[in-house]
Structure 1
Amino acid sequence: MGANEVVELLAAPFSMGAGAVIAVYVAQWVLSRLAAGGDGYTRKKGENLATKEDLADAVKQLKEFESARTEVAHNDWIAREWKTVRARNLEVFAARLQENYEQAQAFCTSCMSGVVPQRASNSGAEVALQSLQRLYYPELEASVAVLLDKCARVKACSSRYGRAVADAPAEPTEASDGRLGEAGELMLDAVGELRDASDAAIAKLTTLTRQLFAVDSLDKQRDTSAD
């Protein structure tokens, strides 16, 4: 309250008296201080609330970051373990490839002598090869499928040739020679196709092996060092 306001109160028709004027002034001063204090309290409370929200947001971001980092680390661990398992089974897989090839060749050799094995297929070796391929080497599915198909064809053609040999008369005829010759040609064609399929599968496996062991990268590093 200013001086003019005090004068006006003293000059009022219904004078309040000096004591009343002072009381009014003090009351207004106290109320103004309380109001100022209230504004400061509200402002301080707002600042604290904003700080708390910022802290909560920072904690949330930190948790998201940790979750993402954990996921990346887990995925990296899975990738390393997957690569290790694939590398560890390469030798077994190659052995299964060779096993199926050799068994088809052995079946063919037996039929050429006129002895047709009672069991034309070796489901155990086939299943073992297919299981390894499906578990660890999905990129070799086509190569394995072709190889097994050619193995089956060699056995079928060899069986036909073996029966022709077994059924050939003691005195060969033009008809029996024709059947034997036709069966022999089919068998030899099947054997050639099997050899090509085996070579293709081994080439694919060799490429995969170089990728798993990063052989090409090592070669480049060695060449760079030599330069």
Structure 2
Amino acid sequence: MDSALFLQLLFTFLVAGGGAYFGSYIREKGKSLATKEDIGKITAIVEKVRTEVNHLDWTKREWTNLRRIKLEELLNHVHETERFLTSAERCALDGTILDATDPRPELETIETLYFPELRPEMKVLLAVVSDRVNRSSQMAVRVRQAINSIDMNAQKAAFEQYSRERDLAAYILAVDALRKAAARVLTQILPPQ
């Protein structure tokens, strides 16, 4: 019986030791698996945050680039207004009204959509341009009347009146103010070098 008891005790110790070992092994494997799952979840969260940050960064860069392009387009339309006004005045000297695309709507659209901070300068410029367009149209009417009545003095008087009334300095000042404001905007939207 001693040997049976000994075998029974030995078997009990082996089973208990094996159970303890395998229990510990399974516990460690469970912890390892849980850690792997946690790491996987954390990695997924980090990747999602990284993707969102990269998207926000990309969006900001694209908006900055679009505004830079639109600012250049806005200034090109300002140059168009000078050509438009010059053409309107030349037509008016012949007693005709200019039949060309007016750049003012494009200026207003770009300012409204992309540069509301330029609104005060744009309002002044558009008012000055509108005044010159109206005055050149009035001169065209007076010149046409003078041409129809074959009165060269009336034609000359119409041009002289227009020359006295048009305010070139106001246009130059308005363009200059808009350019300076645009330069300020450009330095604000472009990243520092």
If the TM-score is normalised by the length of the shorter chain, which range does it land in?
Answer: 0.5 to 0.7
1:154 is aligned to: 132
- TM-score w.r.t. the length of structure 2 is 0.62
When the two chains are superposed, the root-mean-square deviation of aligned CA atoms in Å is 4.3
State the alpha-carbon separation in 1 of the partners of residues 117 and 80 from structure 2.
Answer: 17
1:56 is aligned to: 37
Q: Indicate the larger mover: 98-107 or 30-39.
A: 30-39
1:198 is aligned to: 175
Instruction: Find the partner of 1:117 among 91, 97, 112.
Output: 97
State the alpha-carbon separation in 2 of the partners of residues 201 and 64 from structure 1.
Answer: 47
For 1:200, the aligned partner's letter is: A
Q: Does 1:97 align with 2:69?
A: no
For 2:79, the aligned partner's letter is: Q
1:66 Cα shift? Answer: 3.7
Q: Does 1:44 align with 2:22?
A: no
The answer to whether the 8 A contact 2:118-2:181 is kept is no
Q: Relative contact order (C-alpha < 8 Å, sep 6+): which is higher?
A: 2
Q: State the SS of the aligned residue for 1:122.
A: coil
Sequence identity (%): 20
1:202 Cα shift? Answer: 1.2
State the alpha-carbon separation in 2 of the partners of residues 59 and 200 from structure 1.
Answer: 57
1:138 Cα shift? Answer: 3.0
The answer to whether the 8 A contact 1:151-1:194 is kept is yes
The structure with the larger Rg is 1
5+ residue gaps, structure 2, are none
Alignment of 1:1-227 (within 5 A): 19=1, 23=4, 26-77=7-58, 79-80=60-61, 83=64, 87=68, 91-108=72-89, 110-111=91-92, 113=93, 115-117=95-97, 119=99, 122-123=101-102, 125-126=103-104, 129=107, 137-139=114-116, 142=119, 143-144=121-122, 146-164=124-142, 166-167=144-145, 188=166, 193-211=170-188
The answer to whether the 8 A contact 1:93-1:129 is kept is yes
The size of the alignment, in residue pairs, is: 183
Q: For 1:156-190, what per-residue CA distance to the aligned partner results, in whole angstroms no more than 9, with x for missing partners?
A: 243234434545786x9xxxx9xx8xx9699536x
State the alpha-carbon separation in 2 of the partners of residues 162 and 139 from structure 1.
Answer: 35
5+ residue gaps, structure 1, are 1-18, 219-227
The 1:71–1:186 alpha-carbon spacing in structure 2 relative to 1, beyond 3 Å, is farther
For 1:122, the aligned partner's letter is: T
